[in-house]
Amino acid sequence: QKEVEQDPGPLSVPEGAIVSLNCTYSNSAFQYFMWYRQYSRKGPELLMYTYSSGNKEDGRFTAQVDKSSKYISLFIRDSQPSDSATYLCAMRRAGNNRKLIWGLGTSLAVNP
Amino acid sequence: DVKVTQSSRYLVKRTGEKVFLECVQDMDHENMFWYRQDPGLGLRLIYFSYDVKMKEKGDIPEGYSVSREKKERFSLILESASTNQTSMYLCASSFGGAYNEKLFFGSGTQLSVL
């Protein structure tokens, strides 16, 4: 079993829809959680960063962490065609182990 | 604007060739990383470096080596390229300390080994 599971999609939604992207994980020691966005033929870019549990909002994006369920989510409100990309989750434990564990990414297409 | 620059976008090499992939960052970051990205396998860490002349193996270092002679430059070397090293190679950098997981990536090098 992989430490981080992420549905690869593809996910196709109409413009303006609310999008929910998710990752589950098995290691309860993970404390730092990230969402990266990767456009086609580009490197990933950091979108959201959260520590431990709770929500974090940035514009149309909300990152949610539920440590009791070992589940993280990224919500995109009022989705735009420019949001079409692959979204990767990543996480790591606290302490000196700095290794990031990555999900495989979910491909999202927002149709005008 | 922060920048991680990889020397080539596309590269085609022959089996057995020695291949150099170069990466330069202009953000004075302490940490630099080399990943490869393959469909169905995701991002896998090859090597990373937390300081000049320092290097540590990632998850898949076999067949690769690295060099970091200057803070801004991190090179990935394929000593004898093989077809199973055909992949997208991504370089990344980050600040040291607690925020090292906030990675800045280059645009990648798509390497084909024939």
Best residue in B105, B107, B110, B111 to probe A by mutation, most A CBs within 10 Å? B105
pLDDT confidence of residue A17: 97
> In chain A, pLDDT over 90 holds for what percent of residues?
81
pLDDT confidence of residue A75: 98
pLDDT confidence of residue A99: 82
Q: Where are the beta strands (DSSP E) in A1-112?
A: 4-5, 11-14, 19-25, 30-38, 45-51, 54-58, 61-66, 71-76, 85-93, 101-102, 106-111
Chains A and B form CB pairs within 8 A to the count of: 43
Determine whether the interchain pair A100/B101 forms a contact, defined as Cβ–Cβ distance below 8 Å: yes
Determine whether the interchain pair A104/B41 forms a contact, defined as Cβ–Cβ distance below 8 Å: yes
For A9, the closest chain B residue by CA position comes to B40
Give the model's confidence band at A52: pLDDT under 50 very low, under 70 low, under 90 confident, else very high: confident
For B50, the closest chain A residue by CA position comes to A98
pLDDT confidence of residue B95: 85
pLDDT confidence of residue A90: 96
Determine whether the interchain pair B101/A45 forms a contact, defined as Cβ–Cβ distance below 8 Å: no
pLDDT tens digits along A53-108: 889 999 999 999 999 999 999 999 999 999 999 999 999 987 766 789 999 999 99
Residue B47: Cβ within 10 Å count: 23
Determine whether the interchain pair A43/B43 forms a contact, defined as Cβ–Cβ distance below 8 Å: no
- Shortest Cα distance, chain A CAs vs residue B101, angstroms: 7
Determine whether the interchain pair A42/B100 forms a contact, defined as Cβ–Cβ distance below 8 Å: no
DSSP B37-105: EETTTEEEEEEEESSTT--EE-S--TTEEEEEEETTEEEEEESS--GGG-EEEEEEEE-SGGGTT--EE
Mean pLDDT score across all residues of chain A = 93
pLDDT confidence of residue A51: 86
Please report, in tens digits, the pLDDT of each residue of chain B (114 residues total): 669 999 899 999 999 999 999 999 999 999 999 999 999 999 999 999 988 988 999 999 999 999 999 999 999 999 999 999 999 999 999 987 655 678 999 999 999 999
Query: Cα separation of B84 and B44, whole Å?
Result: 14
Best residue in B37, B50, B109, B111 to probe A by mutation, most A CBs within 10 Å? B37
Determine whether the interchain pair A46/B108 forms a contact, defined as Cβ–Cβ distance below 8 Å: no
> Is B69 near chain A, with CB under 8 Å?
no
For B37, the closest chain A residue by CA position comes to A104
Residue B81: Cβ within 10 Å count: 21
pLDDT confidence of residue A96: 67
**Residues of chain B found within 8 Å of residue A36, distances taken between Cβ atoms:** 103
pLDDT confidence of residue A54: 83
